[in-house]
Amino acid sequence: MKYYPTLTLILLVNTLLSSCTSFTEVAAPQTQITSSAVFEEKSSANAALSDIYSRIREEGVVTGTNTGGTVLLANYSDDLLFYGTNVNIEQFAKHSLLPSNTYINTLWRNTYSPIYATNAFLDGMRASVNITGEDRDRFMGEALFIRAFLHFYLVNMFGEIPYIKTTDYAFNSTVSKTTVAEVYHQILDDLTQARALIPDTYPTAEPVRPNKAVVTALLARVYLYTQDWQNAADNASTVINNTKYSWQNDPSAEFLKTNPAILWALHPDSRCKKLCIYFWSSLSFHFVCRLDECL
């Protein structure tokens, strides 16, 4: 009989703990969804991927903002002339970069951030049971393309870099630089997989998402940079001979969305009339961002 009070106390504590657990388990806000729920429907997965494209447009190595690689490297190469007072940009313009230049860290951080998001997207797609078939292939292919695309610009800007393919924070916190040759090997591997998954058609009315021709164009450029001349020529010829595209003979129409030479153009946002285009000309492939005005 003397054990009963102790047993009663244990039962009471367990009941209270169970009640507290239920009380503290708060559902997600109605305006948000959990990461696993993103990959339960095609529409939500598509929105997640669209967000990655918007981040590429707004920050990192290819954005047209002052802290983006497009503007900074144009100043570095004298494609742009700098007359302002921004010390960080001035160092690029005068080839006097210092480790303390905050824009270098911004370029690095704002490019690896969407790479991490892309890896998270790939993890979600691999675990998804509701998104299958052609939809799954396209989503996976686009994400692999994005990862290769961003690492391509990083390796050309910084040389030896980590090639990040996981969201494991413990692994990523100890990752080290990879040789340039290995980075290119990883890029080619991702692009080869992407081309096998992405169809020839665009998923949208405008070429704001990559198709097989876009992947092939980047493959041509990677082969060119690795001095694999035959593969570079073969892949470039595949794109050049694609009847979906044709030369733009009017220079004033080069950056219009109706340009028949455009392979891929990042969609402008609602605030700024900014157009980022990946297009081919008679000599090479280009990725250009032009910022007209902010509304």
pLDDT digits (tens, 9 = 90+) for 53-71: 999 988 888 888 888 888 8
Beta bridge partners of 262: 279
| Residue 286 backbone dihedrals phi, psi, to 5 degrees | -135, 150
pLDDT at 19: 52
What's the whole-number mean pLDDT along residues 230-252?
Answer: 92
Q: What local confidence, expressed as pLDDT, does residue 36 receive? A: 63
Query: In which residue are the tokens 């979906």 written?
Result: 244
**Average pLDDT for residues 202-221, to the nearest whole number?**
94
State yes or no: pLDDT of 3 exceeds 90.
no
For 186, counting Cβ atoms within 10 Å of its Cβ (0-12 exposed, 13-18 middle, 19+ buried), the class is: middle
| pLDDT value at 25 more than 60 | no
Confidence tier at 269 by pLDDT (50, 70, 90): low
Mean pLDDT check: name the lowest of 184-188, 254-258, 265-269, 275-279: 275-279
- State how far the Cα of 264 lies from the Cα of 57, in Å rounded to an integer: 12
Q: Name the CATH code of domain 41-294 (choices 1.25.40.390, 1.10.3720.10, 1.20.1530.20, 3.30.360.10).
A: 1.25.40.390
**Is the pTM here over 0.75, yes or no?**
yes
Considering the chain, what percentage of its residues have pLDDT values greater than 70? Answer: 79
Q: State how far the Cα of 195 lies from the Cα of 211, in Å rounded to an integer.
A: 8
Which tens digit of pLDDT belongs to each residue from 118-174?
999 999 999 998 999 999 999 999 999 999 999 999 999 999 999 999 988 888 888
Q: How many helices (H) and strands (E) would you count in the chain?
A: 11, 3
pLDDT above 80 for 275: no
- State the average pLDDT over residues 242-263: 87
Distance, in Å, from the CA atom of 168 to the CA atom of 181, rounded to the nearest integer, reads 24
**Residue found under tokens 């009963």:** 4
Q: What's the mean per-residue pLDDT of the chain? A: 82
Distance between CA 54 and CA 269 in Å, rounded?
A: 8
CB 195 within 8 A of CB 149: no
Strands (E), the chain: 262-266, 272-280, 285-294
Residue 43 has pLDDT above 90, yes or no: no
Domain boundaries, the chain: 41-294
pLDDT of 14 reads: 54
Confidence class for position 15, pLDDT limits 50, 70, 90: low
